[in-house]
Amino acid sequence: MMPNTDQKAGLLDSLAKLAAGLVAIVHTRLELLSTDIEEEREHILSLLKWSFISLFFIMLGLLLSAVLLIVALWESYRLSAIAALAGFFLLAGALTWYWAKRKARAKPRLFFSSLLELDKDRQHLDGS
């Protein structure tokens, strides 16, 4: 027995609605992904800008402080002052490098919210 025209039209309408729904879901998720990428780019650029500005002023202050200390101790302890300052700067550099590596690892995964929403969509579609 052949299905009638109404059944074929109803099936095609259902398939078209399903396809439209899937396209809408993909469209929404791509917009969310695009927003995630833009937010991440803005965050990184801002972080880099302020890091470089801060680093410049800190380095300038440390350099001037080191010069001041060396000049103040020039007659009696110049080599000790230079060695102590060099050790301090190397230790500070190593500690800040370690801190930066920890911060980089602690950041949430890229596209975390997009992946979470896609997982919810997959679970919803599997459940229906």
Question: How far is residue 127's CA from residue 19's CA, in Å, rounded to a whole number?
Answer: 18
- 62: which residues sit within 8 A by CB, 6+ positions away? 89
User: Which pLDDT belongs to residue 128?
Assistant: 56
Question: How close are the terminal C-alpha atoms of the chain, in Å?
Answer: 30
Answer whether residue 21 shows pLDDT above 70.
yes
CB 31 within 8 A of CB 118: no
CB 86 within 8 A of CB 63: no
Evaluate the CA torsion angle 90, 92, 98, 104 in order and state its sign. Answer: negative
Question: How far is residue 25's CA from residue 118's CA, in Å, rounded to a whole number?
Answer: 9
Answer whether residue 16 shows pLDDT above 90.
no
pLDDT tens digits along 82-128: 899 889 889 988 998 898 888 878 776 666 777 777 777 777 777 75
Q: What angle do CA 27, 29, 32 make, to 5 degrees?
A: 110
pLDDT tens digits along 41-63: 888 998 899 988 998 898 899 89
pTM: 0.48
Choice among 4-8, 30-34, 66-70 with the minimum mean pLDDT: 4-8
pLDDT tens digits along 73-84: 889 988 998 899
